[in-house]
């Protein structure tokens, strides 16, 4: 299977100056697009990875991953990448701004998409989401201890996360939208 990472799109004025788009936001010192590519690398079903987006991606992957330099809308990025993989039996298109995606999740999706249909769109059950959130407090504590770059703080704010920062710019608290407080369970 080939995987196409969609890392294009216009710059968001809420991002730090110089960031082409949210694929370049860093968490733990790594751009979000790198997290997605690493998850794909860890997936036995993925034989080829293509990243479609700004030319600046070439500097991130330095020839390790095929990059298609595009500056158009997402659908143009998809078409440009599909032109390279027409012979593939299955193509996985995946967004570049998924900081929590894992190779096990990709493998589960591939298993579910083996029924021969022309198009699949994943819906995630509440139970699956709750399972992923079991250790969220511990994960957030690790993020709070290591801190977040300014651009990543802005991104989380755009995603509906409530991020509290002190006057020194240190991350104090992250609240996830829709999460039920333990005392309210």
Per-residue pLDDT reduced to its tens digit, 82-104: 888 866 667 888 888 888 888 88
Structure confidence at residue 87 (pLDDT): 66
Structure confidence at residue 179 (pLDDT): 47
**Does residue 117 surpass a pLDDT of 60?**
yes
Where does the pLDDT of residue 183 fall: very low under 50, low under 70, confident under 90, or very high at 90 and above? low
Section 3-11 average pLDDT: 84
CB atoms inside a 10 Å sphere around CB 10: 10
Domain shared by 110 and 157, yes or no: no
Across 69-78, 117-126, 133-142, 169-178, which has the greatest mean pLDDT? Answer: 69-78
CB atoms inside a 10 Å sphere around CB 129: 10
Residue of 54, 55, 38 lying closest to 3 (CA atoms): 38
Domain stops at, among 72, 88, 122: 122
Using alpha carbons, list the distances in angstroms from residue 180 to 125, 130, 137, 142, 169.
Answer: 17, 11, 12, 20, 27
Structure confidence at residue 139 (pLDDT): 67
Using alpha carbons, list the distances in angstroms from residue 159 to 3, 16, 120, 163.
Answer: 25, 15, 25, 11
Helices (H), 62-175: 74-84, 103-112, 126-132, 136-146, 150-158
Domain shared by 32 and 50, yes or no: yes
Structure confidence at residue 150 (pLDDT): 59
* CB-CB contact of 3 with 90 (8 Å): no
Domain shared by 97 and 168, yes or no: no
55: domain CATH number?
3.90.550.10
- Percent of the residues in the chain that have a pLDDT greater than 90, as a whole number: 14
- Paired residues of 66 in beta bridges: 50
Domain shared by 100 and 140, yes or no: no
Section 59-88 average pLDDT: 82
Number of domains within the chain: 2
Residue of 167, 138, 165 lying closest to 153 (CA atoms): 165
Strands (E), the chain: 2-6, 26-27, 30-31, 48-53, 66-69, 91-95, 162-165, 171-175
If one compares 185 and 134, the residue with the highest pLDDT of the two is 134
Domain shared by 90 and 7, yes or no: yes
| Coil, helix or strand at residue 163 | strand
Domain shared by 96 and 63, yes or no: yes
Domain extent, residue 66, equals: 2-122
**Does residue 157 surpass a pLDDT of 50?**
no
Domain shared by 154 and 176, yes or no: yes
In a domain, 185, yes or no: no
């Amino acid at each position: 299977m080939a995987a196409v990472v969609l890392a294009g799109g216009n710059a968001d004025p809420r991002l730090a100056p110089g960031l082409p788009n949210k694929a370049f936001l860093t968490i733990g010192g790594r751009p979000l697009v790198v997290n997605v590519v690493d998850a794909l690398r860890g997936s036995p079903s993925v034989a080829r990875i293509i990243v479609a987006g700004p030319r600046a991606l070439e500097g991130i992957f330095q020839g390790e991953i095929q990059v298609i330099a595009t500056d158009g809308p997402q659908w143009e990025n998809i078409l440009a990448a599909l032109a390279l993989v027409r012979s593939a039996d299955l193509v996985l298109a995946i967004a570049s701004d998924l900081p929590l995606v894992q190779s096990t999740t990709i493998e589960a999706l591939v298993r579910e998409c083996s029924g021969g249909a022309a198009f699949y769109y994943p819906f995630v059950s509440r139970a699956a989401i709750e399972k992923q959130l079991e250790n969220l407090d511990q994960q957030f504590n690790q993020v709070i201890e290591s801190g977040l770059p300014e651009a990543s703080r802005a991104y989380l704010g755009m995603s509906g996360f409530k991020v509290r920062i002190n006057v020194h710019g240190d991350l104090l608290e992250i609240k996830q939208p829709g999460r039920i407080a333990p005392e309210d369970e």
